[in-house]
Each structure stands twice: as structure tokens, then as C-alpha cells.
Structure 1
Amino acid sequence: MNPRNRPQPSRQSEPVRRIEAGPWAIELLPGAAYAARYVATQAGIGFAFDSQRGVHAIGSDRVRPFDAVPNGLAFVPQGCDVLSESPSGGEYLRVIRTDGLALPGDHAFNNRIDPQATALALRMRMALLRGSVQDDWEAWALALAERATGSDAPSATAMDAITGRRMRLLDEFINAGLDAPIGVTAMAQLLGLSEGYFMRAFKQATGQSPHSYLIDRRLARARALLRDSTAGLTEIALACGFNSHAHMTTAFRQRLGISPGELRRR
């Protein structure tokens, strides 16, 4: 997918992290507002780590609101007309082939939940955050492309009980209470669902558990504070709902492959 023409954010943004490996270009776009309009000169694969919302028109002149679920795989075929805008965006992985060889597929999609694609995208994000150039980038990019274009790829997952409106409510609830414990029971009650049904529906819609998503939101807030403030690591950890600096560091290493201090220095 072509580069997003992102307006200058009011706060400092993380850099776009990019690596070129053989015929592939892989980029990790930070969560930031963007507005883009282009005709795709080459097919592209995308992966949304965060829930996102805005307006888009993909292969159509009809502009409609969109809600992207976290961990959603996306594909834009070559020649597709794309308009996409979001006031807040979200962290996004983009993979394109640069040698002119077309990727199969002529149907654009997003919000596809694919466990293998999720594992690949998380591995690639960790390597990009570490600044690693020795990993098997070509194999990872090819495998992700196969998940997006292969005949065995799953169909787009229905949101079922986790609608766009409910996802927005959940995000607002989590963001407002990140400095304190948040339980699955409270999340389910917010949406008017039983705890068991909520956990099953959330996993189906996003490919991860509510608890895992909560940790991701804590990490996203911590990354923003590392970037935008001079607060100490212990202060940031407590502000994001971690029990201690050590607890936050463990989560960073497990999920992102890098410590908070190392990420701040980068």
C-alpha cells in the first residue's frame, strides 16, 4: 500500500521503521493521524495492530466510515483506487513487493483475522523495533503475502457481538482507566454481555483474549509516554497500570522484544 500522507502530529511521533529485503519493502507505521488518497501501483499487504476508525473508499467512489479491529490483516490489489483517513490512526505494518512482480488477488479486504498472519506480524514488529537486519525478512514477507493471497486464507471474520460501536466503548473505557486494574468482568458488563460470552466473542473478533488486548493498550500508552515525556520509567509504569518498573519491562520484552529504556534511547 502506498505511503500514507500523514499530517504533522501535534506531538512527536515515533519514526517510520523500514527495511528492504530482496524484492520486499517492510514498514512499521506509528499510530498517528493520516489522510491518504492514491491508486495502488503495486499490491500491498497490511496488518493493523490497533483498533482504528475513520472513513475510507477502497475500490469505490463511495466514502464510508470504517472500524478496523486489532490484529486485522488487509490486502489492496494493484490498480485499486484508495482513499483512507483516520484522526488517530494506529500502529500498522505494511509489506509491498518492489520488483514489479504482481501478487495474486483482485479483491481488497481488511479485518481478516488469521492466527498465522498475526504471529508473523508480531515477529516482524519486534525485529523492526530492535533495528534488526539479520532476521529472515524475505521468508517472513513471503509467508505473510501467502496468508493474504492464498486460497486457504480464512474469510473475513464477522464482528458478531463485538461491533464497531462496542469496540469504541471498550477502547474509551480502557483508555480512561489504564492507571488502575481493569478486569474482564468490568469489560463484559460495560457491553452488557456475560463474561464467558464476551471472552469468546472478543477472541473471535480480534484473535486475542481481552486480557492480552489490555496489555497491548498499556504498552501503547507507555510507548507514548516514553516518547512524549521525561517521566521516569517507574512513574510511567504506574501510570499505565503496571505493578512496577520490572513488570513493565517484562511485558515490553515479551511483546516487543526490547526494553522500555532501549526503546526510549532509540
Structure 2
Amino acid sequence: MSHHNRLKPQRPTESVRRIEAGPWAVELLPAAAYSTHYVAAQSAIGFAFDSQRGLHAIGSDRVQPFAARPNSLAFVPAGCDVLSESPEGGEYLRLMRIDGTPLVGDRAFNNRIDRQAINLAQTMRGALLQARVDDDWEAWAHALAERANRSEIPAAPLQGSITNRRMRLLDEFIDAGLESTLTVKAMADLLGLSEGYFMRAFKQATGKSPHSYLVDRRLARARAMLLDSTARLSEIANSCGFSSQAHMTSAFRQRLGTSPAELRRT
């Protein structure tokens, strides 16, 4: 049910909203009529927010009616022949890896109801509609991928994965590369862990996601530079790894309740 290569919509609609974060691409497809037929070049996870009706043939030559349940999870493996069309469509979230790593799974499915997947998809939809500094796309994407492949979820809590020595190594790595784009994959590779395992272990060890921890480190460096240097705000934002001065200002207001300029004045 991964679809929405939208052709000839019958009414004006919003554009597709898309964000790329680390190895992930996330798209929010607005409700619209669609008709598509393709062979999936890569595996994809889908989430239908609305009920949908139409015709489809997923990995089969047989075209048959379908009725997608609202708030349901779907998966289409790479190489799957997909034909799908609906006169109304429905709002739909699509998640893909863009680093060449295939999503786990070799069988297409849809209409899976999973409470955690619902919460994750709703969170991601809200963030696509209104972004915030605290948006943790990589963590959300990994978690939703695990819900689509439940066998990847560990049965027991993780123990001892992020030791004090490993945390010091991570801090040194983060501080050395803070002005650049630091990915979860790079941090996980540093410790020889998979991305999903690293993210769970990091949260257990620190109480924060890697993304939230990075924002805190960037803010700490920015605060020090504001107080100890005369560098322009745009230079500080660049040195601390913020995408722009506006991004840094937004982070200050959301996390600290003040702006960089106000902090420097006081």
C-alpha cells in the first residue's frame, strides 16, 4: 500500500511535505486521488491516517478492491510490483532509507494496527506540519521501522552498552565535529553498534536521545561563545553546527526561554 505517485488529482491539494534526516527520508502525502503502477526500487514503510478505498495489486497480477483502515501500518519490500489507485485517496506517511541500506522485510502487508506506530506517525505528521528544534527524526524513523519489523525489538532491557569510557569517547567525537553534521550512524559506528541498538542504549544511559543530546551540546558551546567572544551571531551559529542563525535563535527560545542576543546583553 506504499503508493501516491499521484497522477491527475481531481481537486487542488497541498504539496507533498518531505524531510531528510540522516539516512531517512519521510514524506507526508496529502489526501488526493491517485493512480500508479511501479516496481518498488526500495523498500518503504507506509502509514494511512485516513480510510482509503480503491483497487490494488501488491506483488500480484490480481487486481482487487482494497479498503485501508485508518491509522494502519503498511510495508512494501524492494522489487515488489505495485499497482494502486483510489478516487479519493487519503493522507499518508511514507518512510524510506536513502543511504542504500534496505529496510528489513520481504513480505508486503497493510492494515496492521499498532498503538506505538500510531503515536509515532502522529508525532511525525505534526512535526512535518510545524517543525521544532526538538524534532528527533532519526529516533522516530528507527522506532517506526522497528514497529514494522517487530522481531527487531529487543525482548529485554539493554545493559552496559554505553559505559563511562564510551561516553567520554562520544563526547570527544561530538565536540570535535560539532560544527559539522553529526549523524547517528557515525556515532554508532564509532562504538561498533547498529544504529537502532545505539539509540536505545544511548537513551538508557543518558535519559536523552542522541538528537536531544546534540542540541544541548550545541547550545552549551553557543552560550560560551556568546559570553566569551565578540563573534557575530551568524558565526557562532555556524561554529556550533546550527543550520542558520534563525535555527540557533529558535533553539535558544525553545530550550532556554531567551534569545542569543538577549543573553549576550545580560
Q: TM-score range by the shorter chain?
A: 0.5 to 0.7
2:143 maps to: 143
1:55 maps to: 55
Change over 3 Å in CA distance of 1:66–1:140 after alignment to 2: same
Shift, 1:50, TM fit: 0.3
Aligned equivalents of 1:136, 1:17: Cα separation in 2: 17
Does the 8 Å contact 2:49/2:72 carry over to 1?
yes
2:68 maps to: 68
Amino acid in the other structure paired with 2:35: A
Aligned equivalents of 1:43, 1:26: Cα separation in 2: 13
Aligned equivalents of 2:38, 2:10: Cα separation in 1: 25
Shift, 1:128, TM fit: 0.4
Aligned equivalents of 1:73, 1:109: Cα separation in 2: 8
Does the 8 Å contact 1:2/1:38 carry over to 2?
no
1:222 maps to: none
- The two structures, once aligned, show a CA RMSD in angstroms of 1.8
1:18 maps to: 18
Secondary structure of the structure 2 residue equivalent to 1:100: coil
Aligned equivalents of 1:67, 1:24: Cα separation in 2: 28
Does the 8 Å contact 1:9/1:32 carry over to 2?
yes
Regions of 4+ moved over 3 Å: 131-134
What do residues 172-205 of structure 1 show as CA deviations (whole Å, max 9, x unaligned)? xxxxxxxxxxxxxxxxxxxxxxxxxxxxxxxxxx
Aligned equivalents of 1:66, 1:2: Cα separation in 2: 13
Matched, 1:110 2:96: no
Aligned equivalents of 1:59, 1:74: Cα separation in 2: 14
Aligned equivalents of 1:63, 1:11: Cα separation in 2: 25
What do residues 8-52 of structure 1 show as CA deviations (whole Å, max 9, x unaligned)? 334320111100001100000000001111111111000000000
Amino acid in the other structure paired with 1:6: R
Shift, 1:5, TM fit: 2.6
Secondary structure of the structure 2 residue equivalent to 1:83: strand
| Structure 1 residues without counterparts, runs of 5 or longer | 154-266
Change over 3 Å in CA distance of 1:133–1:40 after alignment to 2: farther
Change over 3 Å in CA distance of 1:3–1:83 after alignment to 2: closer
Matched, 1:100 2:100: yes
Amino acid in the other structure paired with 1:101: T
1:226 maps to: none
Amino acid in the other structure paired with 2:114: D
2:125 maps to: 125
Amino acid in the other structure paired with 1:27: E
Does the 8 Å contact 2:23/2:97 carry over to 1?
yes
Secondary structure of the structure 1 residue equivalent to 2:85: strand
Secondary structure of the structure 2 residue equivalent to 1:103: coil
1:90 maps to: 90
Secondary structure of the structure 2 residue equivalent to 1:31: coil
Change over 3 Å in CA distance of 1:86–1:3 after alignment to 2: closer
Shift, 1:84, TM fit: 0.6
Change over 3 Å in CA distance of 1:122–1:24 after alignment to 2: same
Size of the aligned set, in residue pairs, is: 153
TM-score (norm 2): 0.55
What do residues 123-166 of structure 1 show as CA deviations (whole Å, max 9, x unaligned)? 0000001144651001101100000012278xxxxxxxxxxxxx
Change over 3 Å in CA distance of 1:110–1:133 after alignment to 2: farther
Secondary structure of the structure 2 residue equivalent to 1:151: helix
Identity %: 70
2:37 maps to: 37
- Structure with higher Rg: it is 2
Shift, 1:4, TM fit: 2.7
Change over 3 Å in CA distance of 1:104–1:32 after alignment to 2: same
